[in-house]
Chains A and B, each alone.
Chain A
Amino acid sequence: ETGVTQTPRHLVMGMTNKKSLKCEQHLGHNAMYWYKQSAKKPLELMFVYNFKEQTENNSVPSRFSPECPNSSHLFLHLHTLQPEDSALYLCASSQGEASGSLAKNIQYFGAGTRLSVL
């Protein structure tokens, strides 16, 4: 148990559906991240939030919409996805960018949501 919980663990959706992925951390961290992991590709950073503010959007298509209502919760809203969006979506957290210590770079990951888009 890493202290980062992702739900659901598995999700199958059609291209016209709207769904949301949820991530919750119980570590008192102030930074949260969304990553996409596809087969045989490096982990792709999608979004970074520091103290609830989005500080990184890695040219992610608008069909992915993140939301960070507080430092403990992060959502990824999905709509009109494509089959190539099928992947493992990982959430992570760390101490915030302002912490000034190496701890800000150590990330704690959830178990991921395995998404299949039909």
Chain B
Amino acid sequence: SQQGEEDPQALSIQEGENATMNCSYKTSINNLQWYRQNSGRGLVHLILIRSNEREKHSGRLRVTLDTSKKSSSLLITASRAADTASYFCATAMEYGNKLVFGAGTILRVKS
């Protein structure tokens, strides 16, 4: 079964609004990452949060991690039309270099 599950599956907002996506996972992790994918393209790494961190910021991105609930959230502030994409969380275990991806959230930002 998949490790990461995102919700919502799809999100439509107006430009300038904030977008929040959530991810849940099932096993212990070393770190959790968020990736972005534009339609029909490859994934691009956005941000990584370690298992001993609770919050991390990068530009307009804010990621939180709650290991007790095995969940993470990605907040995109002041969204732009160019943020329209699919967003995936991915978890990494303690050992190895394999990632397990969730099903993703499709974000549409309307201008």
Instruction: Report A's interface with B, CB cutoff 8 A.
Output: 2, 4, 6, 31, 40-43, 45, 48, 50, 55-56, 88, 90, 92, 94-97, 102, 104-112, 114
B60 proximal to A (CB < 8 A): no
Contact present for A110 and B42 (CB under 8 Å): yes
| A-B contacts, 20 listed (Cβ < 8 Å) | A2-B42, A31-B97, A42-B2, A43-B101, A45-B99, A88-B40, A97-B96, A97-B97, A102-B31, A102-B48, A104-B97, A105-B30, A105-B31, A106-B45, A107-B45, A109-B42, A111-B42, A112-B40, A112-B41, A112-B42
Verify if B33 is at the interface (C-beta below 8 Å from A). Answer: yes
- Which 5 pairs between the two chains have the least Cβ-Cβ distance? A109-B42, A43-B101, A105-B92, A104-B97, A97-B97
Residue of B nearest to A95 (CB): B97
**Residue B103 CB within 8 A of the other chain:** yes
